[in-house]
Chain A
Amino acid sequence: MNRALRRVSLACLVMFVLLLVNVNWLQGFDAASLASEPGNGRTFSEQFQFQRGSIVTADQKVIAESRLNKNLGEYQRHYPVGPVYAPITGYDSLFSATGIEQAENKQLSGSDPALAVHNLIDLVTGKPKKGATVQLTINSAAQEAAFSALQAQGRQAGVVALNPQTGAVLALASYPTFDPNQLATLNGSKLVRNDKRLLRDPNQPLLNRALNDTFPPGSTFKIVTSSAAMTDGLSRRGITQDTPVYAPTKLKLPGVTEPLINFDGEACDNGSNPTGTGKVPLIFAFTVSCNTVFGNLGLQLGGAKLKQQATLYGMNNPRLAIPLPVTQSNFPLYEDRAQAAGAAIGQESDTVTPLQEAMLSAAVANKGTLMKPYMVDKVTAPDLTPLSTTQPTVLSHPVSPTVAGELTQMMITVTQSPQGTAHATADVPGIVIAAKTGTAQTGINNSGLDDAVFTCFAPAANPQIAVGVVVRGGGLGADASAPIAVKIIQAYLAAVGK
């Protein structure tokens, strides 16, 4: 019988080895994926057991913090000025998180490996675990101006302000928005109710329009078309802001019966082209935003060159994260020349985010170098030792400093020349703003309300801030969007004392 007993004991050994291997697999290798399983109550409830780190603006204003709820004995997330910063902070609910709360969760929750030593020291010294503080690049004056300007005009809109030299996001607002405090409640059924209400709202308050909604760029795309034309040369002598360009009243497009026309079918007339058969300087065409001129440039450049230039400005990038994920701004390859002409004035299927609009101006303002946008300035441990600081990085060089200088001149005339499209709305005493307006036709046969687009930077001589604004259905870019940008610029320059 001993032989059989030895075999049985071998079988028992095998059973125990199987159990040991299995628990090793579960607790060693599978633990992380189990933890991230949706509906794992432990993972989410654990995070309310300790104080999550705060989120603060560049000027040290607290925009998200954890407060101890004495009744529940749990920490509740609190957003002091909730709706203003909602598209930035996002929310941290019982079930999920968005925005910075999600992107910087490891730092805020203290689970980042960089915080392991701090956590160990806290464990040994018996101090309660606390998450790291995330300091953003956001300027509270600019942000609050952006939010109240969007709120005042009342339509769906997104706006982003950048520091052109670094790419730091100074303001980022979306409208309509929501109050993250409603989703930070520790009351599960209340949370579900609020969440459902927000999800059902046809205005999509949870959508971050500054980063995740796209619009046709309209005439603001003429910055890209001009860049391509001036960089490429197009003619042997090269093309500058003063080069005369063909400016018909109607531009015949190959293979299309309907010609391309200017706004309201006007002639592109600087006083010497009343019949619409001659030429005007490029800078004049830009100032009054002649469609036919830039459509013609598009015909000559072709889809490939336009796409290359658009990509250099940051479009067609599916992986941009600042660290919030940014929806791709699209400029596809137009094989058809007529389509390329339409795309050159920001129609066809071109789409941009408000961030992309800000990036157009920021690149011009920074002498042709586009910096990568970012929102997190630095992360500090609970004991105030810095853990990481974001270094500005170059994303691309869309144009040469010379071309950027000429583009700056062209954008200045948009607000400073009496004929400029934004002269009435963005010629502000004391500040020279360089800008481009856009009025994008939407809907079938342009039946929808036009989207108002505006991109600018200021002060033109020493750029501190670049702004991109899109107001859905706002009509003329100059009317609906320009005043919003102006308010942000004034608030920011006043706040930083320049």
Chain B
Amino acid sequence: MLIFVVGVVLFAYANVGLGLNGKIPAGMFEYGIAFAVLVGGAHLAVRWLAPWADPLLLPLAALLNGLGIVMIYRLQQSGRAGNTGGVISTMTTSTTLYQVLWSALGLGAFVAVLAFIRQPRTLQRYTYTLGAVGLALFAIPALLPASMSEINGAKVWILLGGFEIQPGEFAKLALAVFFAGYLVAKRDVLALAGRRVLGIDLPRARDLGPVLIAWGVSLLVLVFESDIGTSALFFGMFVVMLYIATQRTSWLLIGFLLFVFGAVVASRLFSHVGERFTIWLHPFDHVHTTAFQLVQGLYGLGFGGILGRGLGQGQPYYTPLVQSDLIITAFGEELGLTGLMALLIIYGLIVQRGLRAAIAVRDPFSKLLAGGLAFVIALQVFVIVGGTTRLIPLTGITTPFLSQGGSSLVASWMLIAILMRISDTARRPAPQPIQDEGMTQVVRAG
């Protein structure tokens, strides 16, 4: 399956070159070898470290990562021979190389997670440590001066010596572990105590604490870092994990109401939040101003049509930030509806395999963690793809594995590693000592 993945990615890469200037792109062979070595290495690591893990997760993630690199290379080249198009801001000639290096780092992190976390429960021990780490990662950009944390109006970065790190991506993982650990410990209290009103089990007032804290933190992220997407992602993950832990619909309801309330208040109080709603509802009234990016993305999707323009033959450079937040529109433009649906189905499969691991695993902590992580992928894809396709208001978050940017890539690979570790635990056959003895006897008799 990995060979197939490498083949698809190389084919796409060759296609970009042919589409752009009728030639096989330079470095095709080297990049191909490098990519094959990387995913091959990861595969061997999985065989060794987590032999029972779900065999589908690694190829699916590798395919997305590979296609992401191809698209970033294509966007870096910008326009066709003869029609150079516009140069995409924040992209340089080494963007693709960086993305490849980050992929290598991501796969390294993937192997490291598998190597160091041999049992998912190991993580449970660090519940509060990771909770604190997660909150700290979230808070750092808000506390840093804008010059060290702000790009394009979003204060979500740590900028150090030319490196850009988006700590929120890692905070997401740390907090998922924290929520899982915390909720496993407290779930009985959260689920059982409380009164029943109108057929809904209401929790006790003091048990509302954690959900209110999570809500508050996500609002703070929103206010101080102008990052609506991450805040929604974080809060959604928390509420769903709470629901999985307690099985009480009331938490979903409370969470949903709090979210709507927060969103409405924020849209009134902060112009940049309210603007998102305006753009969403009336994009074509603001074509040349605030809705430019969204509308250009929509034009790109429309331009792609059913079959797409072909890699290298569209004009995705019209869309600002097409290499990061709106990369899905570039895929839609050049691979068409067909390609976009294939990508969405790949994401759907990853989510489904993650949830299957959650259902199969026996230990409640692992169950909760896998459920939360699988859901967060689904939610992230929904928020960004739904945003770019005008299903919901557009908020800038990365598209897992596809977007330009190292932090997201590394964090996504770590997330896949945790899911694979859990699925390995779930599918590992229990030791069967009696049968072993029987076997021994047979051998001895022979």
Residues of A within 8 A of B (CB): 1-6, 8-9, 11-13, 15-16, 18-20, 22-24, 26-28, 30-35, 37, 39-43, 45-46, 49, 72-74
Q: How far is the CA of A34 from the CA of B284 in the complex (A)?
A: 10
Which residues of B sit under 8 angstroms from A33, Cβ to Cβ?
302
A27 and B359 contact, CB distance less than 8 A: no
Bound together, the chains give a CA A13 to CA B390 distance in angstroms of: 19
A41 to B82, CA, bound (A): 17
For B244, the chain A residues whose CB sits under 8 A away are 1, 4-5, 8
12 extra A-B contacts, CB within 8 A, seeds A16-B382, A27-B337, A31-B302? A2-B367, A5-B355, A5-B358, A13-B348, A15-B386, A16-B345, A16-B378, A26-B390, A35-B303, A37-B284, A40-B302, A42-B303
Report whether B386 and A19 are in contact in the complex, using a CB–CB cutoff of 8 Å.
yes
- CA distance in complex: A24, B302 (Å): 10
A42 to B305, CA, bound (A): 13
Q: Which one of B82, B336, B341, B345 contacts A74 once the chains associate, using CB atoms below 8 Å? A: B82
Residue of A nearest to B368 (CB): A1
26 examples of A-B residue contacts, CB within 8 angstroms: A1-B364, A1-B367, A3-B247, A4-B244, A8-B244, A12-B348, A12-B374, A15-B381, A16-B351, A18-B382, A19-B344, A19-B382, A19-B389, A20-B344, A22-B386, A22-B390, A26-B301, A26-B332, A27-B336, A31-B306, A34-B298, A34-B302, A37-B299, A40-B303, A42-B299, A46-B303
Within 8 Å CB of A28, what residues of B?
A: 305-306, 337
- Nearest first, the 8 closest Cβ-Cβ pairs linking A and B are A73-B82, A34-B302, A27-B337, A12-B378, A31-B302, A9-B355, A15-B382, A4-B244
A44, chain B: closest CB distance, angstroms: 11
Contact status B315-A20, CB under 8 Å: no
B379 contacts across to A, CB distance below 8 A: 15
B378 in contact with A42 (CB, 8 Å):
no
CB within 8 A of B305: which of A5, A27, A72? A27
**B393 within 8 A of partner (CB):** no
Does B318 make an interface contact (CB < 8 A)?
yes
Q: For the complex formed, measure the closest distance between the CB of B146 and the CB atoms of chain A, giving whole angstroms.
A: 33
From the candidates B80, B243, B386, name the one contacting A8 in the complex (CB within 8 A).
B243
What residues on B are CB-neighbors of A31 within 8 Å? 301-306
A-B contact count (CB 8 A): 148
- Do the beta carbons of A41 and B83 come within 8 Å of each other? no
CB–CB A40/B341 < 8 A: no
Q: Are A18 and B302 in contact (CB under 8 A)?
A: no
Residues in A with CB closer than 8 Å to B303 are: 31, 34-35, 40, 42-43, 46
Residue numbers in A under 8 Å from B83 (CB-CB): 45, 49, 72-74
B362 shortest CB reach to chain A, Å: 11
Identify whether the interface residues of A are mostly helix, strand, loop, or mixed: helix
Tell whether, in the assembled complex, residue A23 and residue B371 are in contact, meaning their CB atoms are under 8 Å apart: no
A43-B333 Cα distance, complex, nearest whole Å? 12
Question: Closest CB-CB distance, B344 to chain A, in whole Å?
Answer: 6
**Does B340 lie at the interface of the complex (its beta carbon under 8 Å from any beta carbon of A)?**
yes
Pair A4/B243 contact, Cβ less than 8 Å: yes
Contacts A12-B355, A37-B299, A42-B300: A5 and B315 contacting too (C-beta < 8 A)? no
Chain A: CB-nearest residue to B80: A49
The contact string, 1 if C-beta is below 8 Å from chain A, for chain B 302-313, is: 111110000000
In residues 281-306 of chain B, which contact A (Cβ within 8 Å)? 284, 287-288, 298-306
Task: Using CB atoms, name the residue of chain A closest to B184.
Answer: A1
Contact indicator B298/A26 (Cβ below 8 Å): yes
Task: Note all chain A residues with C-beta closer than 8 A to B300.
Answer: 42
Residues B389 and A22 in contact, CB atoms below 8 Å apart: yes
Interface contact B337-A23, CB-CB below 8 Å: yes
* Residue from A18, A40, A49 in contact with B299 in the complex, judged by beta carbons closer than 8 Å: A40
CB distance from A128 to the nearest CB of B (A): 11
Residues on A with beta carbons closer than 8 Å to the beta carbon of B347: 16
A23 to B245 alpha-carbon distance, docked (Å): 33
Does B240 sit within 8 A of A, measured CB to CB?
yes
Which chain B residues in 344-379 approach chain A with CB under 8 Å?
344-345, 347-348, 351-352, 355, 358-359, 364, 367-368, 371, 374-375, 378-379
Complex Cα gap A16–B349 (Å): 10
Also in contact, A2 and B81, with CB within 8 A (given A15-B378, A27-B304, A28-B306): no
Interface status of B221 (Cβ within 8 A of chain A): no
Interface mask (B325-340 → A, CB under 8 Å = 1, otherwise 0): 0000000100011001
CA distance A186 to B300 in the complex (A): 22
Whether the pair A27, B318 counts as a contact (CB closer than 8 A) is no
Residue ID in chain A nearest B84 by CB atoms: A73
Please tell me if B253 contacts chain A, counting CB pairs below 8 Å: no
Question: Which residues on the A side are within 8 Å of B304 (C-beta)?
Answer: 27, 31
Q: Which residues of A contact B240 (CB under 8 A)?
A: 8, 11
- Assess the A5–B332 pair: CB atoms within 8 A: no
Instruction: Please give, as numbers and ranges, the residues of chain B lying within 8 Å of A8 by CB-CB distance.
Output: 240, 243-244, 355, 371, 375
- CB within 8 A of B381: which of A2, A19, A43? A19
Q: Does B418 contact A (CB under 8 A)?
A: no
- In the complex, the answer to whether B245 meets A1 with C-beta atoms within 8 Å is yes
Chain A hits for B371, CB < 8 A? 1, 4-5, 8
Q: A34 with B391: in contact, given A5-B359, A5-B371, A8-B375 (CB under 8 Å)?
A: no
Q: A1-B368, A5-B367, A15-B378 are in contact. Are A23 and B340 (CB under 8 A)?
A: yes
Interface residue from A2, A15, A22, A42 paired with B318 (Cβ < 8 Å): A42
Asked if B64 lies at the interface with its beta carbon under 8 angstroms from chain A, I say no
A46 CA to B240 CA, complexed, in Å: 46
User: Which B residues are CB-close (under 8 A) to A11?
Assistant: 240, 375
Point out the residues of chain B lying under 8 angstroms from A9, CB to CB: 351-352, 355, 359
Give the chain A neighbours of B288 by CB distance below 8 A.
39
CA distance A28 to B306 in the complex (A): 6
Question: How far, in whole Å, are A31 and B84 apart by their CA atoms in the complex?
Answer: 24
Chain A CB within 8 A of B385 CB? yes
Residues of B within 8 A of A2 (CB): 359, 367
The 8 Å CB contact of A23, one of B301, B375, B378, is: B301
User: A90 to chain B: closest CB distance in Å?
Assistant: 25
Residues on A with beta carbons closer than 8 Å to the beta carbon of B352: 9, 12
Q: Which residue of A lies closest to B288 (CB)?
A: A39
Q: Please judge, given known A-B contacts A5-B367, A16-B378, A73-B81, whether A27 and B302 are in contact too, CB under 8 Å.
A: yes
Provide the residues of chain A in CB contact with B348, threshold 8 Å: 12-13, 16
Query: What residue of chain B has the Cβ atom nearest to residue A3's Cβ?
Result: B247
Q: Which residues of A contact B386 (CB under 8 A)?
A: 15, 18-19, 22
Residue interface bits B220-232, CB-to-A below 8 A is 1, else 0: 0000000000000
Tell me whether A22 and B367 are in contact (CB under 8 A): no
Question: Which residues of chain A are near B368, meaning CB under 8 Å?
Answer: 1
Interface contact B337-A42, CB-CB below 8 Å: no
Query: CB-nearest residue of chain B relative to A40?
Result: B299
Contact B344 A16 (CB under 8 A): yes
Chain A neighbourhood of B340, CB < 8 A: 23, 27
> Provided the pairs A23-B344, A26-B301, A27-B302 are in contact, do residues A1 and B355 lie with their beta carbons within 8 angstroms?
no
B389 & A23 in contact (Cβ 8 Å cutoff): yes
Residues of A within 8 A of B305 (CB): 27-28, 31
Q: Give which listed residue, B247, B318, B336, B337, contacts A4 with CB less than 8 A.
A: B247
Q: Which residues of A contact B355 (CB under 8 A)?
A: 5, 8-9, 12
| Contact status of A27 and B306, CB under 8 A, knowing A4-B243, A19-B381, A73-B83 | yes
Give, as a whole number of angstroms, the nearest-CB distance from B314 to chain A.
Answer: 8
List the A side residues contacting B306 at CB < 8 Å.
Answer: 27-28, 31
Complex Cα spacing A42 to B245, Å: 49
CB-defined contacts of B345 to chain A, threshold 8 Å: 16
Contacts of B364 in A (CB 8 A): 1
Taking A4-B243, A31-B305, A42-B299 as contacts, is the C-beta distance between A12 and B315 under 8 angstroms? no
Bound-state CA distance A45–B390 (Å) is 24
Chain B window 390-418, contacts with chain A (Cβ cutoff 8 Å), 1 for yes, 0 for no? 11000000000000000000000000000
Chain B CB within 10 A, most for which of A3, A9, A72: A9
CB-defined contacts of A5 to chain B, threshold 8 Å? 244, 355, 358-359, 367, 371
Alpha-carbon distance between A185 and B385 when the two chains are bound, in angstroms: 38
Task: Point out the residues of chain A lying under 8 angstroms from B341, CB to CB.
Answer: 20, 23-24
